[in-house]
A and B are shown apart, each in its own frame.
Chain A
Amino acid sequence: MERKKITIDGNEAAAYVAYNTNEVIAIYPITPSSNMGEWCDAWAAVNRKNIWGIVPSVSELQSEGGASGSVHGALQTGAITTTFTASQGLLLMIPNMFKIAGELTSTVFHVSARSVAAAALSIFGDHSDVMATRSTGFALLSSNSVQEVMDFALIAQAATLEARVPFIHFFDGFRTSHEVMKIEELTKEDMKAMLDEDLILAHRKRALTPDNPVMRGTAQNPDVYFQGRETVNPFYIACPGIVQKYMDKFAKLTGRQYHLFDYVGAPDAERVIVMMGSGSQAAEETVEYLVNKGEKIGLIKVRLYRPFSVDHFIKALPKTVKSIAVLDRTKEPGSSGEPLYLDVVNAISERYMAGELQFAYPKIVGGRYGLSSKEFTPAMVKAVFDNLLKEKPKAHFTVGIIEDVTHSSLDFDPTFSVEADETFRGKFYGLGADGTVGANKNSIKIIGEGTDYFAQGYFVYDSKKSGSTTVSHLRFGPKEIKSTYLINKAHFIACHQQVFLEQWDMLREASEGSTFLLNTKVDKEHVWDSLPEKVQKDLIDKKMKFWIIDAYKVAEETGMGGRVNTIMQTCFFAISNIFPQAKAIDLIKDSIKKTYGAKGDKIVQMNFDAVDKTLENLFKVQVPDKITSTIKMQPPVSGDAPDFVKEVTARIIAGEGDQLPVSKMPIDGTFPLSTTKWEKRNIALEVPVWDKEICIQCNKCVIVCPHAAIRAKVYEEKDLKGAPETFKYTNFKSKDYGENMLYSLQVAVEDCTGCELCVDVCPVKNKKETKLKAINMSEQLPIREQERLNWDFFLNIPELDRRKIAVSKVKDSQFLEPLFEFSGACAGCGETPYVKLVSQLFGDRTMVANATGCSSIYGGNLPTTPWAANKDGRGPAWSNSLFEDNAEFGYGFRLAIDKHNMQAKELLKSLASEIGNDLVDALINSPQKDEADIYEQRERVAALKKKLENMLKAGSNGKTSEVKHLLSLADYLVKKSVWIMGGDGWAYDIGFGGLDHVLASGKNVNILVLDTEVYSNTGGQCSKSTPRAAVAKFAAAGKPVAKKDLGLMAMTYGNVYVAKVAMGANDQHTLRAFLEAEAYDGPSLIIAYSHCIAHGINMGTAMQNQKAAVDSGYWPLYRYNPELEIEGKNPFKMDSKGLKINLKDYAYMETRYKMLTKSHPQLAEQLIKEAQDDVIRRWKEYERLAAYDPQKAEAGA
């Protein structure tokens, strides 16, 4: 049967089969598996039917633990049920997995395998999560490619029903989950044919039902538990045979034959690699290449890893084998070897001991590769085979890194390549926002589905959320593509942003005679002179063909804005001659219709116009034979950077992280602060420029700046000495800090993202030209150099004495130095202004527990960190534990701080006579209510330390141990501020249990919920904070229930400070709430409205959305302060004034609400009405709370 060829990624392939062959699907977002749930939710939202003609029930849970619980329940109730997850998510499912397996329940979990966080989190692929489930009793089936993902998803589903052993079907995160590949699509008939109806009925028959009641999940004692556990043995013995049976059945249907262990290579191979996952593809490609050259080598691709069939494994090995290298994509510190290695050793050993090994006992070594999607290339495969040639092959080796500490790594030759010449290889460098990746996904679909070629696309993103760079790797050709690694010898390189040429040596990867396409504003006659020297050299030396286009111009003329995607795609097809030009244009236009058809005729037409206009603007440039340029590549950081930044951070920034040896890495994940300032990203085309003449010095621009790139200082005239000529200043309009003080507002133009929030909130208009404000956007490039000098000068102006600053006013608070700067957050981020505010107000004595999510990524993703220390070396100490435990993690901080403080006080008392009673009393009794108190306490601590050190020198009067301990604890006598921060996914969903517990603890912690109302970091999935009527992923048909009122829930404890804030609506209120929350000696909860790109809004004016949210009553501002109750007052204070606008007037400013009116108009109408009712109902509830008069209530009682 002819099946449809489609070009999709691994996640979609798995989701396709899972959706079609399940009745209940429980989901929860986690990278890189989220897309599987998203597909299923989106299909269910349009009532797509599966193979049984039903729409599966797709439900999001509050965590992976919850998802697995619901899966367990649905399975026990007889539904064919699945879920998708990865990494920490899979670990949270483990308890239920033991249960599910113990109860012999058929199910398949689809897992895009990902690293488990250890010293650092990583979203990328390896098998450490899957390996952590080995003892659960789940079968583990590994797919190596996108085609296999689709095939094995079905084989697993078929096998589990018969075997009654539950399955994890896994594939490598990103490398397979996100790789776009041309594959053959299974039909619904295929799926029906593979699934035995009787087995489905049998599964249902085992369901718990009151119509035939039984019980499961009993508790057992030592007498029988053991025997019970052994009852499952026959099922595990039978399982491999069942899987092979369905693999054979599948082969009959589709022609694709798989085995539990597939051997490829020379029949008489002496050296064999055993491995599983996508790396097997690269290994197979290498084996084929080397076997053709006469090498006696081979590869075993492990499919069914658990239950591990020793029989099948031994049979798959060639009898000629002399040495085996087992590759594990995981690390088990302290083990005698990684899991697959140990299994292989055991298999051979057992057979040997039984006398059943039909060949001599081979040498077996194990090694690790590919952790966190580390590249695994043919060069590395060759190094592994070469190691086997040695008399004593290196055991427990690593490959792919330079391990220079215990010297485990194998050397490899990075130039070794096995790629077929006939396979086209193209690399495309783009900016996240320019649509390059989307266009390349379309291109690979066009080629895959428009030709007989095999096709593959893989996309690499950096970790920044603003101004990020993307690199697309496209391969296609007549030969099957098994190259599961990045392209390093390209036939075609496209640079979609000319500025990249000074940052990356991209032509290093160009092969001789290849083509270079550049998007540039420079014309044909002058473009050569605009290229860096290295680029010119490569173009000449490699005899490259050089094409240019001004895609910005075409985009501008055709209304495409900054999206050059369609234009660059058209250039690629025009130059590469894959199709005749006319056909290529037709295919591109077809693809545009498919991609944008749903978004309206106008969009389609705009893209058509861009295609039509492209060719007339595409030019071939004759490459001169001489280098004329003196432009050098930009160094990644300045020479003034600290050594660590120069030696480590800079190399990561430059894309050379792969070359960093182990010895350069911190051993325990500890990194220095203040490193973003070295990474001058220059991503803003336009930056704000200050008009000092009309500025009223309100500092509103400073408080909203998400990147701390606009700052104000007040200083004395003498500090102006040495100021650059263009440095701007004016008289400070207040005498609060003395007579004749000066004021400057300075922009860090190289760190600014150009979001324009500052301009939008500026309250001043120029009287002569009302379009101008006191800050206005202006081109960055012409002022870059002068402003770099001005910024450096500005930083050296002394900070105001914190003791003098009236922190309770917005204007004054913004003279506090931010200790959170230049993060990689989105331009215009709604979260970071709050985070920055914490760092300004309390940063030099703050500890931050940060839940996994956006804030942990822009806060802690390498290469650089925005958390910073002040000139005294003090600043926020930051850490991220997990997604689910952040409140508890921060609570732990508090417990330890309190304990340290208490111990220090005890020691002070016991050493009082030596230290002096006055100092001890002052240290113990300092109120530390304000900056002046804190300052004095720090002075006392310094004096104490000096005394203690002198005491040590003098022998400590027999109390050396006490003195040493007090020295180590003395800093805890200064008040510490614990901030527990994270998004709504954490606070409302996965971490809610812990958050609730910590609130109930009464301990002095400050919880900041950066409420974007979706899981922003993973792409906008619905949380319990998502408002009714808004569309989110996992709520494609609009959220049908109201947002959880977390604040109201917290208030019920009575001893929790609660505030709901929105900086864009009332910055003074926000500031007050932060100060009160921190001052309150108990748990505090601040719920902060955080606009987000996932709302589909203009980020530059997003503070207006915040204001509208408050004006509509949807986001009422309030503060609940238990201290007021002690004073006999109403603790609840409503700070919003009335319902000024309808909910619609706010909601329909945002795409998340608006899009429902276009996809489900009637439902949208109903939901927005209900949402308006929610607003009114809640408003009345708050009014009731605000009206409470404790004194009257008491009198009444």
Chain B
Amino acid sequence: MDITTTYLGLKLKSPIVCSAGPLSEKVSNIREMEDAGAGAVVLYSIFEEQIEHEQLELAYHTTAHSESFAEATSYFPEPFEFKLGPEEYLNHIRKAKEAVNIPIIASLNGKSIGGWTDYAKKMEQAGADALELNIYLLPSDPKKFSTEIEKTYIEIVKAVKSTVKIPIAVKMHPFFSSTSYMASQLTNAGADGLVLFNRFYQPDIDLETLDVVPNVILSTPMAMRLPLRWIAMLYGRINADLAATSGIYSAQDVLKMIMAGAKVTMMLSSLLKYGIGHIADVTTNLKAWMEEKEYESIDQMRGSMSYMNVDDPSKFERANYMKVLHSYK
């Protein structure tokens, strides 16, 4: 039985890919992911903003009080060399590449064109097999046109694409006015793949302290419904590989996503919950299901339940929502 797949032109031994997250901060975990049967690993995201913030913070705190007082013209040893760029991340790419044979996909979260292209190039040089661009420009300014924001997305993708030779995927969010249009525009701009969807930091309120606080909640299996629909809708209609992420816990989830049209399915929350070994369990169950149902390969089922291949595509559209509500009653 063949569970191999391709993604961004890379040949993967399995459609189960580890999504960007804290688990990939350790090379030993990456090795474990490979051993458990992962097809590829998307490394944790590097944030241009964070690197800049660290630089500013370090520069500020090491110099803020210097040259103010005769007895102490500075308060920290003279730095000869700080590793302040993405070096740590680049080293991590190198180490990961040395440690495993499966593809390593670097993940980049930038905020300026300069940062995107510069870091992307460095990641390619460090040996990343592909890049995942994690673009999210929070549209907080009520005076800003949506088209302007969309244009920035496109420009970023074009800029990165023209800088590197390795394939790139764009991790989309589901909040565009037209997801399909944006998917197609991003593809036209050079995205080799689209990852559906990004889950963002969602702030919470602490009622005791009256503070806005981060509150990370792992995705639940319910979360897969959103990408499931959009993968099904986009499959075969845009010229890019589709990757499913959010709420993928079981072999059934993987199967559904592939049938909707995904090239790969990405897991993180389930691994955080059950451990990296969960990949092996899902793989076993996946194979068992395929065997039972007599599927020969992943390719065979891919897109079989997509918008273009189901008997009633409208079930993926708005009317479907009404019926669901109805049936619930």
Contacts and interface: CB of A to CB of B under 8 A. Distances in A.
A432 B75 contact: no
B70 A1096 contact: no
Nearest to A124: B70
Contact of B210 (A463, A765, A857, A1096): A765
Interface string A23-42: 00000000110110011011
Contacts of B58: 599-600, 1096, 1151, 1154-1155, 1158
Interface in A1109-1156: 1151-1152, 1154-1155
Contacts of A1035: 77
Contacts of A1018: 71-72
Interface string A420-442: 00000000000011011110010
A1155 B68 CA distance: 22
B64 A31 contact: no
B59 A1031 contact: no
Nearest to A853: B71
A325 to B, nearest CB: 30
A41 B76 CA distance: 12
A1031 B76 contact: yes
A174 interface: yes
Given A45-B77, A1020-B75, A1151-B76, A599 B55 contact: yes
B52 A602 contact: yes
Given A599-B62, A603-B56, A470 B68 contact: yes
Given A38-B77, A42-B77, A765-B210, A1097 B61 contact: yes
Given A602-B55, A1158-B54, A435 B63 contact: yes
A1019 B72 contact: yes
A433 B59 CA distance: 13
B75 A31 contact: no
Interface in B7-32: none
A1019 B74 contact: yes
Contact of B63 (A438, A1032, A1154): A438
Interface in B254-272: none
B69 A600 contact: no
A459 interface: yes
Nearest to A771: B210
B78 A42 contact: yes
Nearest to B65: A1093
B213 interface: no
Contacts of A46: 80-81
A123 interface: yes
Interface stretch (B82-90, B101-109, B184-192): B82-90
Contact of A598 (B68, B70, B82): B82
Interface residues of A, number: 62
A1020 B76 contact: yes
Contacts of B152: none
Interface string B309-322: 00000000000000
B300 interface: no
Contact of B75 (A178, A438, A1096): A1096
A42 B80 contact: yes
B203 interface: no
A1032 B74 CA distance: 11
A459 B57 contact: no
Given A1036-B77, A1097-B61, A461 B55 contact: no
A600 B210 contact: no
A601 interface: yes
B284 interface: no
Contacts of A602: 51-52, 55-56
A438 B66 contact: yes
A31 B59 contact: no
Interface string A1151-1168: 110110011010000000
A1094 interface: yes
Contacts of B54: 600, 1154, 1158
A437 B71 contact: no
Nearest to B80: A46
A31 B72 CA distance: 8
B65 A433 contact: yes
Contact of A1017 (B60, B72, B78): B72
Contacts of B67: 432, 435-438, 441, 459, 461, 470
Contacts of A598: 79-82, 84
Contacts of B70: 31-32, 123, 174, 178, 460-461, 463
A599 B82 contact: yes
Contacts of B84: 598-600, 1158
A1096 B79 CA distance: 14
Contacts of B78: 38-39, 42, 1036
A385 to B, nearest CB: 32
A1019 B83 CA distance: 24
A600 B55 contact: yes
B69 A601 contact: no
Nearest to A472: B67
Interface string A599-624: 11111000000000000000000000
Interface string A160-198: 000000000000001000100000000000000000000
B23 to A, nearest CB: 18
B73 interface: yes
A1155 B88 contact: no
Nearest to B91: A1161
A1155 B58 CA distance: 7
Contacts of B83: 1158-1159, 1161
B167 to A, nearest CB: 27
Contacts of B75: 1019-1020, 1033, 1093-1094, 1096
Contacts of A13: none
B69 A1033 contact: no
A559 B85 CA distance: 19
Contacts of B210: 765, 770
Nearest to B72: A1019
B85 A461 contact: no
A826 interface: yes
A123 B73 CA distance: 14
A42 B76 CA distance: 10
A1020 B72 contact: yes
Given A599-B82, A765-B210, A432 B69 contact: yes
Contacts of A437: 67-68, 73
Contacts of A1159: 79, 81-83
A468 B69 contact: yes
Q: B59, B77, B82: which has the most chain A beta carbons within 10 Å?
A: B77
Contacts of A1020: 72, 74-76
A787 to B, nearest CB: 27
Nearest to B74: A1019
A465 interface: yes
Interface string A14-58: 000000000000000001101100110110011000000000000
A643 to B, nearest CB: 30
A1093 B67 CA distance: 13
B73 A1019 contact: yes
A727 interface: no
19 contacts: A34-B71, A45-B77, A432-B69, A465-B69, A598-B80, A598-B84, A599-B58, A600-B59, A601-B55, A1017-B71, A1019-B71, A1020-B74, A1033-B76, A1094-B76, A1151-B57, A1155-B76, A1155-B82, A1159-B83, A1161-B88
Interface of A: 31-32, 34-35, 38-39, 41-42, 45-46, 123, 174, 178, 432-433, 435-438, 441, 459-461, 463-465, 468, 470, 559, 561, 596, 598-603, 765, 770, 826, 857, 1016-1020, 1031-1033, 1035-1036, 1093-1094, 1096-1097, 1151-1152, 1154-1155, 1158-1159, 1161
The 7 closest A-B pairs by CB, nearest first: A432-B68, A600-B55, A1019-B72, A1096-B61, A437-B67, A1036-B77, A1151-B61
Given A178-B70, A599-B82, A1018-B72, 9 more contacts: A31-B70, A39-B78, A46-B80, A465-B69, A599-B55, A600-B52, A603-B56, A1031-B77, A1158-B83
